[in-house]
A and B are shown apart, each in its own frame.
Chain A
Amino acid sequence: DVQMTQSPSSLSASVGDRVTITCRASQTISNYLNWYQHKSGKAPKLLMYAAATLQSGVPSRFSGSGSGTDFTLTISSLQPEDFATYYCQQSYRTPRTFGQGTKVEIK
């Protein structure tokens, strides 16, 4: 299986901060990397696919980059509604695998 490792596991930030989350794959996955936002009690939401493509309706303060094994999700200016847990997921090989999640909390 492709192991996905996110860092950090959690972070505290203030509204307006720039936040970066990294995701590393245990083997190359080209650009088959997706990012999801998950708020407790709700369905996860697709933010980015193919590493750097913004899903329709997602604010432009979210951006993604990377290829191969190393990827990042950046929130340029954190908003109150962005406090959530973020997951990366590879869709290159089966079984699909998720990172362990990064919880973004209010500072």
Chain B
Amino acid sequence: EMQLVQSGAEVKKPGESLRISCKGSGYIFINYWISWVRQMPGKGLEWMGRIDPTDSYTNYSPSFQGHVTVSADKSISTAYLQWSSLKASDTAMYFCARRDSSKGDALDIWGQGTMVTVSS
């Protein structure tokens, strides 16, 4: 079964750093880019950025550029989303998703989500 499995919920304080993960299985990980999507409480989906696991080339939304870093370790089929200094406004559910170029770049497989809570 093709799937993305994300790391568990996190509770952090403002200013702390964090890295969450997304592990792919059941398919050839390097053949598909991984995107990250945010959903703030009560709000809609926002595309944050993406990575090509083959060479770690990245694109970011201007809204997130400079505040998060997307990375990947193809040897363990895992993508990451990290913050160096969290803010309360980073409290949200974060999803990773696989981009399928044969389907018009749609996001066809999604992780279950990682809830990040930032509170003092």
Contact = CB atoms under 8 A, between A and B. Distances in A.
A101 B104 contact: no
A100 B104 contact: no
B106 A95 contact: no
Interface string A67-102: 000000000000000000101010100111111110
Nearest to A31: B104
B26 interface: no
B26 to A, nearest CB: 15
Interface residues of B, number: 27
Contact size class for A?
20 to 34
B44 A49 contact: no
Contact of A91 (B45, B62, B95, B104): B104
Given A43-B113, A98-B46, A49 B61 contact: no
Given A36-B107, A50-B104, A95 B62 contact: yes
B111 interface: yes
Contacts of B107: 34, 36, 44, 46, 89
B60 A95 contact: yes
- Interface hub of A36, A96, A99 (most chain B Cβ within 10 A): A96
Interface of A: 1, 31-32, 34, 36, 38, 42-46, 49-50, 53, 55, 85, 87, 89, 91, 94-101
Given A43-B110, A89-B45, 9 more contacts: A36-B107, A44-B107, A44-B110, A49-B100, A49-B103, A49-B104, A95-B59, A95-B62, A99-B44
